[in-house]
C-alpha cells in the first residue's frame, strides 16, 4: 500500500475524476488508514511504498505491478501522468529482495487489469492495458491468460468490474456482466457458472473493487446489495468508506497490491552450513 500523502485530482484520466471536485486530504488519509488497519486486524502483513510528490495517483498501488510466486511483472502505464509509478515500484521490489522482475514492452496497468483465478490469469483490455500485454504476461508467468474485453468506460480496469473471491482450484468470482463484451460475458459464464452477479447499483458503488482473502471480503460500504449474497456463500463482508479515494476512480482493490509469494531467499555465504 502507498499512503495518499500527495493524492489530489489535478487531471482527469478516467470518468470518475473531476478536478472541480477537490479531495479532502485528511479524510482521504483517514479512510486509507482505516483500510490498512483493517488488514492488520485480520492478520495480514502490510508493506508500505513511499509516496512521491509528483505522482498523486500512487495511492492506487495495485496498478504498478503484478506479483505471482514471488515474480514481479512490472506495469507500463497508458498515461504519462502515471508513468513514473512503475520505476518507483521496481525500486521498492529490488530493495526488498525481489530479483525476478519482468519489464513489459506493451501497456499493462498491473493488477488493475490482471488477476489470478485458479490456474488462469484473467486479463482485461479495452481502455488501458494492451491486448499484446496478455501474451507477455502469459509468457512471463507461465499461466494461460484469458482476455476479457471491457466496453463501458466507467469500468476502465478489470478490477472495477470483477473480483476473485477464492482463487483455489475451483475459483469463485463476482462480476458485473454489462461491463464486458458479449463474447467476454460468454467466457465468464463458461469459466464461472456459479459466479455472483453484481447489480448496476453495486457496480457503480465500486463494490467489485474489493479484496478477498478467501474468508473476508473488504468492499465499499455503499455496495449494500452484495453483503447478503456474500454471506450466503460463507464469506464475511467488511464495509469500508473510501469515498474520497473514489474521486480518483479507485477503492479497496486499487489501493491494494497483493504480494503473492515471497522473494527468493539469498544464497547462504560460502562455508555456512546452516
Do residues 174 and 166 lie in contact, with contact meaning Cβ atoms separated by under 8 Å? Answer: no
Helix (H), strand (E) at residue 163: strand 162-166
Query: Whole-prediction pTM value?
Result: 0.95
Q: Is the pLDDT reported for residue 274 higher than 50?
A: no
Residue environment code for 77-97, b if the CB has 16+ CB neighbours within 10 A, otherwise e = bbeebbeebbebbbebbeeee
User: What distance in Å separates the CA atoms of residue 103 and residue 108, rounded to the nearest whole number?
Assistant: 11
Residue ranges per structural domain of the chain:
25-246
166-187 mean pLDDT: 97
What is the reported pLDDT for 68?
A: 98
Percent share of the chain, pLDDT over 90: 95
pLDDT at position 173 over 70: yes
Percent residues over pLDDT 70 in the chain: 97
CA-CA distance, 90 to 37, in Å (whole number)? 25
pLDDT tens-digit profile of 199-220? 999 999 999 999 999 999 999 9
Q: How far apart are CA 111 and CA 154, in angstroms?
A: 17
Q: Is the pLDDT of residue 31 over 90?
A: yes
Specify the pLDDT at position 267. 65
pLDDT value at position 269? 66
Rg (CA), the chain: 18
Per-residue pLDDT tens digits for 256-270: 999 999 887 766 666
Q: State the residue for C-alpha cell 463458461.
A: 190
- pLDDT tens digits along 71-89: 999 999 999 999 999 999 9
Separation CA 59–CA 50 (nearest Å):
10
Domain 25-246, architecture per CATH: 5-stranded Propeller (3.75)
Q: Are 102 and 71 in contact (CB under 8 A)?
A: yes
pLDDT in tens, 133-149: 999 999 999 999 999 99
Residue among 134, 157, 163, 216 flagged as catalytic: 157
- The string of pLDDT tens digits covering residues 9-29 is 999 999 999 999 999 999 999
Catalytic hit among 2, 163, 254, 255? 254
157 is catalytic: yes
Assess whether 134 carries a catalytic annotation. no
272 has pLDDT over 90: no
Amino acid at each position: 500500500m502507498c499512503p495518499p500523502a500527495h493524492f489530489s485530482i489535478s487531471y482527469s484520466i478516467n470518468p470518475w475524476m473531476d478536478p472541480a471536485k477537490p479531495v479532502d486530504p485528511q479524510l482521504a488519509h483517514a479512510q486509507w488508514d482505516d483500510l490498512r488497519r483493517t488488514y492488520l486486524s485480520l492478520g495480514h502483513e502490510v508493506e508500505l511504498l513511499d509516496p512521491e510528490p509528483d505522482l498523486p495517483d500512487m495511492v492506487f498501488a495495485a496498478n504498478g505491478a503484478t506479483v505471482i510466486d514471488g515474480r514481479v511483472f512490472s506495469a507500463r502505464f497508458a498515461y504519462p501522468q502515471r508513468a513514473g509509478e512503475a520505476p518507483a515500484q521496481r525500486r521498492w521490489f529490488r530493495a526488498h529482495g525481489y530479483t525476478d522482475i519482468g519489464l513489459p514492452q506493451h501497456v499493462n496497468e498491473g493488477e488493475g487489469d490482471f488477476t489470478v483465478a485458479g490456474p488462469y490469469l484473467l486479463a482485461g483490455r479495452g481502455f488501458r492495458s494492451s491486448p499484446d500485454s496478455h501474451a507477455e504476461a502469459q509468457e512471463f508467468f507461465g499461466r494461460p491468460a484469458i482476455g476479457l474485453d471491457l466496453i463501458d468506460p466507467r469500468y476502465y480496469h478489470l478490477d472495477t468490474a470483477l473480483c476473485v473471491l477464492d482463487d483455489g482450484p475451483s475459483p469463485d468470482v463476482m462480476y458485473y456482466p454489462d461491463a464486458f463484451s458479449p463474447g467476454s460475458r460468454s467466457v465468464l459464464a463458461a469459466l464461472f457458472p456459479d459466479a455472483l452477479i453484481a447489480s448496476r447499483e453495486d457496480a457503480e458503488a465500486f463494490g467489485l473493487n474489493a479484496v478477498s482473502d478467501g474468508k473476508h471480503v473488504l468492499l465499499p460500504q455503499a455496495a449494500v446489495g452484495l453483503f447478503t449474497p456474500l454471506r450466503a456463500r460463507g464469506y464475511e463482508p467488511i464495509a469500508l468508506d473510501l469515498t474520497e479515494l473514489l474521486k480518483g476512480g479507485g477503492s479497496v482493490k486499487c489501493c491494494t497490491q497483493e504480494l503473492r509469494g515471497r522473494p527468493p531467499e539469498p544464497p547462504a555465504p560460502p562455508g555456512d552450513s546452516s
